Amino acid sequence: MSTGRVLLIECADRKGLIHAVTGVLLRHALNIVANDEFVDSESGRFFMRTEAEGSADTERILEELRSLLPEGAVLRFSPATKRSVVVLVSREYHCLGDLLLRHAHGDLNATIEAVVGNHAVLEPLAGRFGIPFHWISHEGKSRERHEAEILDVLRPYQPEFLVLAKYMRVLSPEFTARFPSRIVNIHHSFLPAFVGRTPYGQAAERGVKIIGATAHFVTDVLDDGPIIAQSVIPVDHTYAADDLSQAGRDVERSVLAKALKLVFEDRVFLCGKRTVILS
């Protein structure tokens, strides 16, 4: 095991799990640098994330752990290489720009392979950073056809994650099923308030005093996937829908960046419809 690898465990809870896991690591002369665990009392599931230092045989560690943990335990070491990512966009530049900036300076902890847009407007932005841009217009196409074209473009990249950086089209259940818990979306509202395409318009009409953004995994129900991160800013009666939209951009991109950092550092576990985020 290379220095700084992360061990992730999820299984049914029972007494002695921490002792058992730390015992295996100790026998392999690994030093625990950080450790966090959580038991979801409702489902009785145990989650554990351990950063350890030292050099060891990860396969053998996993094997030993498997023999000690309850049947059905899910366990793995986080990969030693950066995650490969394709970003989907529409017209808005701020989230994509932020990701490209971080990526170019080594702060994303992932490799952006390409950008796919249903509009062409962000092609120059991707170009500034030397990232391939694929324009797959949706106009005059069925959703099925449009998504098939996107899948064709994605195929050579074999991306581990898709990031929807203000991609404004709804993906079909067939599409999302291909990337289970591997599509991260930024929704421009404080979910579950204002589901759908025009949250800022709805927020202006409702007269809310705070707006927000939500980064979540995409499931087959619109804006209903497990929430990874949320943030908000105060607004007031002087904000029309356009002002809310502009004010919301800073929140959107910082929430998306925060969520991706958690995901790419392997801190996010799924627990039913919720996420468990271990530090």
Residue among 153 and 232 whose Cβ is closer to a second copy: 232
Structure tokens given for 47? 């989650």
- Opening angle at CA 108, ends 96 and 93, nearest 5: 10
Residue 22 found at the interface with a second copy (CB under 8 A)? yes
Q: Choosing from 13, 40, 152, 223, which is the catalytic residue?
A: 223
- With contacts defined by CB under 8 A, how many residues of the chain interact with a second copy? 64
Choose which of 75, 93, 111, 132 interacts with a second copy (CB under 8 A): 93
- What 3-state DSSP class applies to 66? helix
Q: How far apart are CA 117 and CA 104, in angstroms?
A: 20
Distance CA 32, CA 36 (A): 11
Answer for which of 193, 198, 201, 243 binds a second copy (CB under 8 A) is: 193
User: Is 98 a residue of the active site?
Assistant: no
Which of 63, 174, 236, 242 binds a second copy (CB under 8 A)? It is 236
CA distance 19 to 17: 5
Of the two residues 102 and 143, which places its CB atom closer to a second copy in the complex?
Answer: 102
Tokens of 224: 């209903």
Nearer to a second copy, 35 or 149 (CB): 35
Q: Show Cβ contacts of residue 122 under 8 Å, excluding neighbours closer than 6 positions.
A: 89, 91, 93, 96, 115, 133
Minimum gap (Å) between residue 31 Cβ and a second copy: 5
Cis peptide before 124 (omega within 30 of 0): no
The residues binding a second copy (CB under 8 A) are 15-16, 18-19, 22-23, 25-26, 29, 31-33, 35-42, 93-94, 97-98, 101, 104-105, 125, 128-129, 190-194, 205-210, 212, 226-232, 234, 236-238, 240, 250, 254, 257, 271, 273-277, 279
